[in-house]
Amino acid sequence: MSRIRYGGDYNPEQWPEEVWAEDRVLMRRAGVNLVTVGVFSWAELEPREGEYEFAWLDRVLDGLHEAGVRVDLATATASPPPWLSARHPEMLPVTAEGVRLHPGSRQQYCPSSPVYREHAARLVRAIAERYGSHPALELWHVNNEYGCHVSHCYCDVSAEAFRRWLVRGYGTVEELNRAWGTAFWSQRYGGFEEVWPPRAAPTFRNPTQLIDFDRFSSDELLDLHRAEVAILREATPDVPITTNFMGFFKPTDYWRWAEHVDLVSNDSYPDPADPRSPALSAMSQDLMRSLAGGRPWLLMEQASSAVNWRAVNAPKRPGQMRAWSLQAVARGADGILFFQWRQSVAGAEKFHSGLVPHAGTDTRVWREVEALGAELAGLSDVVGEAPRARVAIVLDWDSWWALEQEATPASLLYPNLLFAWYRPFFDRSLLVDFARAGADLSAYDLVVVPAMHVASPAAIAALDAYVRQGGRLLVTFQTAILDPDLHVQPGGYLGALRETLGVRVEEFAPLAAPELPGAEPPVVALAGSGLDGSTATQWTEYVHVADAEAVAMFAEGDVAGWPALTRRTLGEGKAWYVATLPDEAGRDALVATLLAEAGIEVARGARPGREVLERAGRRFAIDHAACTVEVEPASRR
Amino acid sequence: MSRIRYGGDYNPEQWPEEVWAEDRVLMRRAGVNLVTVGVFSWAELEPREGEYEFAWLDRVLDGLHEAGVRVDLATATASPPPWLSARHPEMLPVTAEGVRLHPGSRQQYCPSSPVYREHAARLVRAIAERYGSHPALELWHVNNEYGCHVSHCYCDVSAEAFRRWLVRGYGTVEELNRAWGTAFWSQRYGGFEEVWPPRAAPTFRNPTQLIDFDRFSSDELLDLHRAEVAILREATPDVPITTNFMGFFKPTDYWRWAEHVDLVSNDSYPDPADPRSPALSAMSQDLMRSLAGGRPWLLMEQASSAVNWRAVNAPKRPGQMRAWSLQAVARGADGILFFQWRQSVAGAEKFHSGLVPHAGTDTRVWREVEALGAELAGLSDVVGEAPRARVAIVLDWDSWWALEQEATPASLLYPNLLFAWYRPFFDRSLLVDFARAGADLSAYDLVVVPAMHVASPAAIAALDAYVRQGGRLLVTFQTAILDPDLHVQPGGYLGALRETLGVRVEEFAPLAAPELPGAEPPVVALAGSGLDGSTATQWTEYVHVADAEAVAMFAEGDVAGWPALTRRTLGEGKAWYVATLPDEAGRDALVATLLAEAGIEVARGARPGREVLERAGRRFAIDHAACTVEVEPASRR
Amino acid sequence: MSRIRYGGDYNPEQWPEEVWAEDRVLMRRAGVNLVTVGVFSWAELEPREGEYEFAWLDRVLDGLHEAGVRVDLATATASPPPWLSARHPEMLPVTAEGVRLHPGSRQQYCPSSPVYREHAARLVRAIAERYGSHPALELWHVNNEYGCHVSHCYCDVSAEAFRRWLVRGYGTVEELNRAWGTAFWSQRYGGFEEVWPPRAAPTFRNPTQLIDFDRFSSDELLDLHRAEVAILREATPDVPITTNFMGFFKPTDYWRWAEHVDLVSNDSYPDPADPRSPALSAMSQDLMRSLAGGRPWLLMEQASSAVNWRAVNAPKRPGQMRAWSLQAVARGADGILFFQWRQSVAGAEKFHSGLVPHAGTDTRVWREVEALGAELAGLSDVVGEAPRARVAIVLDWDSWWALEQEATPASLLYPNLLFAWYRPFFDRSLLVDFARAGADLSAYDLVVVPAMHVASPAAIAALDAYVRQGGRLLVTFQTAILDPDLHVQPGGYLGALRETLGVRVEEFAPLAAPELPGAEPPVVALAGSGLDGSTATQWTEYVHVADAEAVAMFAEGDVAGWPALTRRTLGEGKAWYVATLPDEAGRDALVATLLAEAGIEVARGARPGREVLERAGRRFAIDHAACTVEVEPASRR
């Protein structure tokens, strides 16, 4: 594990065997040392129920081993073969509207289906037995992108599983009735058997039912993962295990998942046409390092150039693949892998770029692939050591699920709020860790909590402790509005954080546009320390200061004169509260103030558009507009 | 009944009993004298089939009675408990696409379901028996917002009910074939059993089938209401009955409903962020007074501040709750009530404001609640006497349903056309009654008929008689195009109104944008008396003047030189026809002319944005921008 | 057949018989000589299963015959009667989401339904027997607008039919697996019984499955047509047969259909509000002449004024009906017919204009109908001879279906690309033929191939042969990317066309907007011969010139300096390749160059907006803005 892994998904079953030999030659030329095999091979490995055809895969793995390429071997359960649903149509997933999803694409299984589970387990066992001691095996790749197309299933089988999950969580239906608040709208259940997944309904569905179904759906997928892990562990206790995450992916609570992988890995497809992409991919990379507990991780999938699933798919610009790959390395990646090795000539992803493009090796893409392989080989010394962040942003899936429900104060998008606060740090080349709600934050000099809508007592206690131990905390509007049952704590919003922040919120005043065609929401000016000249966006509210100072005020509208930004000093600690989303300039000014207070300096040479990062004695200076990267020893700074 | 009712929906089942005591104290502080109880209590009152639990409700009503608060007691049938559909899944409603709607929100019943009907009737009977003589009982509240989420059900049970409704209406299938025009598109039915609700179909569905299904659906809901009324009447002949209307609500023909309530009541939620809201809520209030036959009505539900169901929910501005409440009083409300008393902490409406907000009583909202209660107590002398309007606008649900069907000359929105003509009167603080098609109009000095697309002979005769008796009538384009079977009367549009108006319409020329991205429809200038400088919007057409004068012309396009506005004088009467929707300035000028002719003057001090209204010796001057109201004796004007 | 046919759909079953007499009088006044009868008469002709009622239709046809009006008699199978689906609900069509479409509109049949097929065949037989020798019969009109509302059915019956079609085409499931590329995404089928229509699925469906389902669906409809033709041929070998096409209609591959009609006919409803309509209708007319193999065709349906199915339906402008009708005549129409004779007063199309409008005969529309009838009677000498085009555009349904699939390089719209290249010829009044892929092109002086995404070896060979024989060929980007299995040929795009064009494409670079609200894609300047000052839209790419000259370059962005337009000279032949869609000015300049090279001159007096066309010694000069047409002997030019 002392070289940066380089390679990608390898699907040789798409090609005649004569191509495999060329593949191995080209892999060596490109410096490929790890490929992921078998992700979509179930139908090839088990073409008829219970009849396995492993010979072809034997030849693939043997050939790779001879070529010195190691294997991330998939359990092949990501997409069941057509014969399975032909025999057991009840294992096909169903939408909230009752539409049964059919074969013809991929991932057509109900996560709760015993049929799917039994057949998948049998396949994993067979693969683990056959290849557990293969010399090419480096890593197990469980399933693939869990939940990316079917994260929630509403079928009758899922309904039963959901009920069992509720019984485990609530014990009695009375407790469920209390937690779900079923006294309202005549929803009181007489027994668990009366409960349904939140299928299509006349109007807004019960919020706690919805979030419990989100939690159940994440858990149910995690169960699938854990069942495979158990089989693999038993067969090969020493082979590490991963499953590929998808960055900020709403349906799966990766905090819970990360405990069940040995190596965190990520699939990342930023849009080459979008100027925000470097910042967005940095945010995704920082999340992976955080999920890995500050340890390195793998970039499991990216594209060599264009993807195929946007309305218009821009290719990567010359140099952009290298720039984004080195950005990942600088932020902790120990591997740079791609989907997929050889671009398909048929099927739904044939217009997704590959390391070997349709046009062959006399191409810009291939030349960049070869060059990157060589360059990564020279960066082996970074492997195993991840860079450290001094800033953390709290990320919480419950809050994501709750904030984006129907019937909330405003249609806020949680990742947009995270990104709004991530961006000023990115523009200064400052690493940011994402922290789990309730985690110990003492390692950080600065912590930001954007819209942590749902807050458990433990989550609040952790923030309070952090400040009281001298930390610098910025909490934004829509934090700690709900408890984990999605109940409001009466008495002024912010719950127990009122103590920490010294403020309470009387009422929300989100910035609403009138219901007219094309109407835009109003903009409210801000006034006060550092925020003069900037404006409030999306949100305002009525905040009472109890034991804090009002640092900036709303300057217009009904909220004129009410605090927009407050600060409470608790010994060395400082607890800030911001009652709006200041515009970009405002956020930038506020972050500048917070960084100065925290004594965090910007890396020399860093500026917006020019990222300067260090890892293990290497300094990476990335110019995103020019798609260039200078890699130097860090001592030269 | 000599005080203005003040209060709101009270759902104590959401709270532990110790809160009930506080509720009563706060109600007294706020001057609350009427609360609506039990709207969503079915599952609490009948937690298992046939087992009623009334003890808790006994305590609620007894406590309210002791506190001097009277009760609008709901029949609790608005949302069936989960056990009912668990036992009888066929009672769940189904969309036109065949999606069965599930429990988890509310109102999940097929209006035609015998299962629902039997269980609801049994519950109403039990409630009427238990509380019919309770001293707190002031009013029965039947169900709740009929049809707000499920107004049309397409299930097999509904199909059977629709067929029975058709048999009752048409007698023979030959008559249905004639009325529906089934000779076209090979739709001729051999028997009623071949007829379906207008489920999803390959293309445009039969227009008469569609409107009959609209009529059936409104009737079917009304049947539910009437069945409850019959039970209540039998048990408590002297207790008045209401059900809460929802302003301009398309699915239910409130003209037919108003005959079956003792007291008209309304739910009204204008958007605080929308500058049109004062005019829109005035229009809704004027409708309620009209449905009540010119008698007072109740504002049954409004919000103390924000609602929870818009994309972004603005709070009410300081003073806005009072301003809009007094507007309702000035327009005839004998009660000002809210949804709901205490803001929920759980469930789908927890972000809907309440009289007691999440933040408690040390809040702007609560202070305004207390102040309004005190102020209303001082306005008791208005109770029982509603103000009178001299202007009427004809409102017709058949026309609404027909005008907004698929495959019409243009996608016109009926309420928008009503509002376009209501607005100039609102801007002059002039009350407007809405009149039912076919009603006697002799009480009015001016009558406007916007786009009464469907006209029965009686409706046309009423307009004609009105003019011939000296009335002033303005009819707009798309009036009297169709008879009640939705058949066109050939020979030039306007049907028998051609006689009244002295014009006939040869052909429509709606203002269409080319089918290009972002294309806007053209604007056509108008020329002529009072309309110079204004423009035609949405519509033009080719009008022939037979026995009238052309007052204004289209000035551009293919219709240049054709009449845009005509006037026929019939003795004292005047019959105007306007072949377009003039822009705001044009409508304002035309209304000014009509008012001058009718001898109607604007109240002193009234101007756009400043509403000045009188009721029972009180004068209310409302400044909507400032959210202030001056209430004075009317004699001071 | 020596007069231009004039008339339209005649649906007398909508009217009492006394109206029929008036119809005949008015038809004579208007010069009507052909009407289409019975299109939607199934339910009237067979009101109960197996019981035919022909008496009324006898009277209709006898009356028309006496009046000298001939009949295009429909087989009446376009819309089955309600009793059929009441008895056999499984014959109703089902969407990809599983929604069963119900009666109430029209065309509610699954094209593969044996129930529908048997009942339709029996009806056709009965009609053919009864009317095959009626003296009024001129033409058989099979069904109506095949597939306009239900082109694809996903029900279980269709699934079985699709499997049979696949068995016929592929023979073995191994061959299907190869063609569909099922090695990817674990889609390998064990047998045909495992295959489904492309029903709703978790994500992108297999592209070859999708296009095979498109091909199957077109074939399945064609089967219906052919089954009726076989019955009619047997009964009346000498009566010509048509079915009405719908211009550029995606679901049906009219190249395959045109072989199965004696007379090509078209339904055409351009938007009177859209300034592009003259060009769009010309394109549709040119297609009809091409489908007819260069012979005349019928304009089977157009509107006298407004249609009823747009969001806003503009009427035709004065003179526009004549101008568009004469445009059709000038482009080869031997008949000008309308939907429908008398405007309906009921049903879903009552707001669709008719030859006899709602307002009767004292109307602009009727006067124009009479005048046009008289004018057409004077143009009989053009009948039978169609004008010839020197330019061809290749049109290919496979390419249409493939290009507009999900998961492609960019969301391109095939008809828009065709129109973009058709337009410069239209603006010069130059006729364009559409040519089938693979057809002999030697009759043309210039051939344009826009985005022929799918190319068979034969299609490529035809283009190559055309150039080598001295032709002038312009090929655009996204041509020959896929073979008929929708597989990419590796080695640089363009497949075997690389030889013809002397270029290969390394990588695509479609112009993508960032995923931000309202973001617009970039514009890239072009530089070089004739294209200076114009810009690239929608697309750029990386093109390598092997054996051609680069005529113009991209001037900006990552593609700056790469060829945008190339030309290869092959003896007399020239093969151009354009790697983008130049803006309007660029396309115009390029077409001007190509025309000059081909020696094609613009008709005297023609200019954009003024179409000048000749047919059979007549010269038609059409001013589309003024809606005027001058018709003169061609010799006067």
pLDDT in tens, A152-165: 999 999 999 999 99
Query: What is the DSSP secondary structure assignment for residue C450, as one 8-state letter?
Result: -
Q: How many CB atoms lie within 10 A of CB C534?
A: 23
List the 524-553 stretch of C: residues with Cβ below 8 A of A: 542
Q: Is B486 at the interface with chain C, CB within 8 A?
A: yes
Q: Is it the case that residue C117 has pLDDT exceeding 70?
A: yes
pLDDT tens track for A160-191? 999 999 999 999 999 999 999 999 999 999 99
For chain C, counts of helices (H) and of strands (E): 17, 24
Maximum distance among all Cα pairs of chain B, rounded to whole angstroms:
75
Measured CA to CA, the distance from residue C485 to residue C208 in angstroms comes to 6
Q: Is it the case that residue C636 has pLDDT exceeding 60?
A: no
Tell me whether residues B359 and A491 touch, CB distance under 8 A: yes
Cβ within 8 Å of residue B554, ≥6 positions away = B524, B525, B526, B527, B536, B540, B560, B561, B562, B563, B564, B579, B580
Q: Is C344 at the interface with chain B, CB within 8 A?
A: yes
Query: B619 and B637 in contact (C-beta within 8 Å)?
Result: yes
Q: Distance, in angstroms, between A315 CA and closest chain C CA?
A: 6
Same fold, B5-155+215-382 and B391-598: no
Query: A177 and A208 in contact (C-beta within 8 Å)?
Result: no
Mean pLDDT of chain A: 97
Q: Is A516 at the interface with chain B, CB within 8 A?
A: yes
**Which residue type occupies A473?**
L
3-class DSSP state of A519: coil
Q: Distance, in angstroms, between A354 CA and closest chain C CA?
A: 12
List the 190-219 stretch of B: residues with Cβ below 8 A of A: none
Q: Is it the case that residue A1 has pLDDT exceeding 60?
A: no
Identify the band that residue A516 occupies on the pLDDT scale cut at 50, 70 and 90.
Answer: confident
Q: Among 3.40.1740.10, 3.90.850.10, 3.30.420.480, 3.20.20.80, name the CATH number for the domain at B5-155+215-382.
A: 3.20.20.80
Enter the pTM of the model.
0.97
Structure tokens that stand for B354 in this block: 């309440």
C68-82, C124-138, C509-523: least confidently modelled range: C509-523
A601-610, B370-379, B389-398, C322-331: least confidently modelled range: A601-610
Measured CA to CA, the distance from residue C600 to residue C614 in angstroms comes to 15
Query: C53 and B183 in contact (C-beta within 8 Å)?
Result: no
Measured CA to CA, the distance from residue B620 to residue B429 in angstroms comes to 11
Judging by beta carbons within 10 Å of its beta carbon (0-12, 13-18, 19+), is residue A51 exposed, middle or buried? Answer: exposed
Element (H, E) at B446: strand B446-449
Identify the band that residue B404 occupies on the pLDDT scale cut at 50, 70 and 90.
Answer: very high
Place of tokens 């503009």: C314
List the 86-145 stretch of B: residues with Cβ below 8 A of C: 97-98
A219: left (phi over 0), alpha (psi -120 to 50) or beta: alpha
Measured CA to CA, the distance from residue C123 to residue C116 in angstroms comes to 11
Nearest Cα neighbor of B217 from B153, B159, B166, B168 is B153
Nearest Cα neighbor of B616 from B377, B375, B285, B334 is B334
Q: Distance, in angstroms, between C184 CA and closest chain A CA?
A: 6
3-class DSSP state of B338: strand
Among C99, C101, C102, C305, most B C-beta atoms within 10 A, so best to mutate, is C102
pLDDT tens track for C542-551? 999 999 999 9
B-chain residue closest to A402, CA distance: B348
pLDDT of the residue at A637: 44
**Chains contacting C with at least 3 CB pairs below 8 Å?**
A, B
Q: Among 3.20.20.70, 3.40.50.880, 3.40.30.10, 3.30.43.10, name the CATH number for the domain at A391-598.
A: 3.40.50.880
Q: Is it the case that residue B636 has pLDDT exceeding 60?
A: no
Q: Is the peptide bond before A405 cis (omega within 30 degrees of 0)?
A: no
Structure tokens that stand for C220 in this block: 């399945």
pLDDT of the residue at A58: 98
Tell me whether residues C105 and B491 touch, CB distance under 8 A: no
pLDDT of the residue at B519: 86
pLDDT tens track for A333-392? 999 999 999 999 999 999 999 999 999 999 999 999 999 999 999 999 999 999 999 999
Place of tokens 């047969």: C241
**Which residue type occupies A289?**
R
Contacts of A47 in chain C (CB under 8 A): 188, 190
Measured CA to CA, the distance from residue C460 to residue C500 in angstroms comes to 9
Measured CA to CA, the distance from residue A568 to residue A581 in angstroms comes to 19
Q: Is it the case that residue A2 has pLDDT exceeding 90?
A: no
Nearest Cα neighbor of A465 from A483, A489, A443, A486 is A443
pLDDT of the residue at C395: 98
Q: Is it the case that residue B31 has pLDDT exceeding 50?
A: yes
Query: A107 and C202 in contact (C-beta within 8 Å)?
Result: yes
Contacts of C628 in chain B (CB under 8 A): none
Query: A397 and A438 in contact (C-beta within 8 Å)?
Result: no
Q: Is it the case that residue C293 has pLDDT exceeding 60?
A: yes
Question: Angle between the B207-235 and B114-131 helix axes, to the nearest 10 degrees?
Answer: 30
pLDDT tens track for B506-540? 999 999 988 788 888 888 999 988 899 999 999 99
pLDDT of the residue at C637: 44
Element (H, E) at B634: none
For chain B, counts of helices (H) and of strands (E): 17, 24
Mean pLDDT of C177-181: 98
Mean pLDDT of chain B: 97
| First-to-last C-alpha distance (Å) of chain A | 29
Measured CA to CA, the distance from residue A91 to residue A79 in angstroms comes to 12
Tell me whether residues A186 and B78 touch, CB distance under 8 A: yes
pLDDT tens track for A245-288? 999 999 999 999 999 999 999 999 999 999 999 999 999 999 99
**Which residue type occupies B284?**
S
Contacts of B410 in chain C (CB under 8 A): 311-313
Identify the band that residue C135 occupies on the pLDDT scale cut at 50, 70 and 90.
Answer: very high
Rg from Cα positions in chain B: 26
**Which residue type occupies C85?**
S
Query: C473 and C449 in contact (C-beta within 8 Å)?
Result: yes
Q: Distance, in angstroms, between B43 CA and closest chain A CA?
A: 5
Residues in chain C: 637
Cβ within 8 Å of residue A617, ≥6 positions away = A381, A382, A633, A634, A635
Q: Distance, in angstroms, between C545 CA and closest chain B CA?
A: 37
Measured CA to CA, the distance from residue C621 to residue C614 in angstroms comes to 9
Query: B505 and B542 in contact (C-beta within 8 Å)?
Result: yes
pLDDT tens track for C433-451? 999 999 999 999 999 999 9
Measured CA to CA, the distance from residue C388 to residue C96 in angstroms comes to 43
**Chains contacting A with at least 3 CB pairs below 8 Å?**
B, C
Q: Is A407 at the interface with chain B, CB within 8 A?
A: yes
pLDDT of the residue at B637: 44
Place of tokens 């599930």: B102
Read off φ and ψ for residue C94, nearest 5 degrees: -130, 140
**How far is residue C586 from each of residues A381, B578, C591, C636, measured CA to CA in Å?**
54, 48, 9, 34
List beta partners, residue A128. none
pLDDT of the residue at A518: 81
Domain spans of chain B, in order of start: 5-155+215-382, 157-209, 391-598
Identify the band that residue A603 occupies on the pLDDT scale cut at 50, 70 and 90.
Answer: confident
Measured CA to CA, the distance from residue C83 to residue C103 in angstroms comes to 10
Q: Is it the case that residue A229 has pLDDT exceeding 70?
A: yes
- Using alpha carbons only, give the angle C26, C29, C33 rounded to the nearest 5 degrees: 85
Structure tokens that stand for C38 in this block: 């019975």
**How far is residue C265 from each of residues A340, B337, C124, C141, C253, measured CA to CA in Å?**
49, 66, 20, 10, 15
Maximum distance among all Cα pairs of chain C, rounded to whole angstroms:
75
Above pLDDT 70, what percent of chain C?
99
B-chain residue closest to C318, CA distance: B558
Among residues B228, B301, B541, B614, the one annotated as catalytic is B301
B-chain residue closest to C309, CA distance: B407
DSSP C131-189: HTT-TTEEEEE-SSSTTSS-S---SHHHHHHHHHHHHHHHSSHHHHHHHHTTTGGG---
Query: Contacts by C595-601 with C-beta closer than 8 Å and gap 24+?
Result: C595/C428, C595/C430, C595/C446, C597/C472, C598/C390, C598/C391, C598/C445, C598/C446, C598/C472, C599/C445, C600/C390, C600/C391, C600/C430, C600/C445, C600/C446
Tell me whether residues A347 and C508 touch, CB distance under 8 A: no
Measured CA to CA, the distance from residue A159 to residue A175 in angstroms comes to 19
Query: B355 and B366 in contact (C-beta within 8 Å)?
Result: yes
Structure tokens that stand for B227 in this block: 């069945």
Measured CA to CA, the distance from residue C7 to residue C325 in angstroms comes to 12
Residues in chain B: 637
